[in-house]
């Protein structure tokens, strides 16, 4: 039963983010890899792992860096040029890694 609920959750999630383009996200992630790792797993504890984190969570963090709600000079600079679509694509790419 629990498994079924989880599965239902996952498929609902998939429908919700259908519009995101994982391939575009992967291309954009090239500029993130130096800190967050090639596959979203960082080799330095200074940089959080992005692989397998929920897409809405990742989008929120990127938005917050952009608006200054979450402050980090490095990350603010990194997300500056990303629009909503780009952030969604990147988030979707990282969220499906490590599954
Ligand atoms: C020069 C190193 C560097 C690069 C390049 C970089 N980041 Fe980061 N990133 C960081 C650091 C440092 C933090 C942690 C900031 C903090 O402590 O608040 C972080 C945090 C994050 C977080 C929050 C993760 C969490 O679990 O809270 C996200 C999301 C993120 N980065 C996405 C990206 C994306 C997307 C790119 C590429 C467009 C990128 N980063 C490029 C250094 C980097």
Contact of 25 with 92, CB cutoff 8 Å: yes
- In ligand 1, the atom with minimum distance to the C-alpha of 34 is 5
Q: Ligand 1 centre and the CA of 67: distance in Å?
A: 15
pLDDT confidence of 98, banded at 50, 70, 90? Answer: confident
pLDDT, residue 13, reads 58
The predicted pLDDT at position 19 comes to: 75
Tens digit of pLDDT for each residue in 17-30?
A: 457 999 999 999 99
By C-alpha distance, which of 32, 94, 91, 98 is closest to 56? 91
**Ligand 1 atom with the shortest distance to the CA of 90:** 35
pLDDT at 17: 47
- pLDDT-based confidence at 35, cuts 50/70/90? very high
Query: Residues with beta carbon inside 6 Å of ligand 1?
Result: 31-32, 34-36, 46-48, 50, 53, 58, 61-62, 72, 74-75, 78, 90
């Amino acid at each position: 039963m629990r498994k079924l609920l989880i599965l239902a959750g996952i498929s609902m999630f998939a429908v919700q983010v259908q519009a995101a383009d994982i391939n575009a996200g992967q291309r954009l992630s090239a500029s993130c890899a130096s800190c967050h790792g090639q596959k979203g797993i960082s080799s330095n504890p200074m940089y959080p792992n992005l692989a397998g984190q929920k897409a809405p969570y990742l989008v929120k963090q990127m938005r917050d860096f952009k608006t200054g709600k979450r402050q980090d000079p490095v990350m603010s600079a990194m997300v500056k040029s990303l629009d909503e679509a780009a952030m969604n694509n990147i988030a979707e790419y990282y969220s499906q890694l490590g599954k």
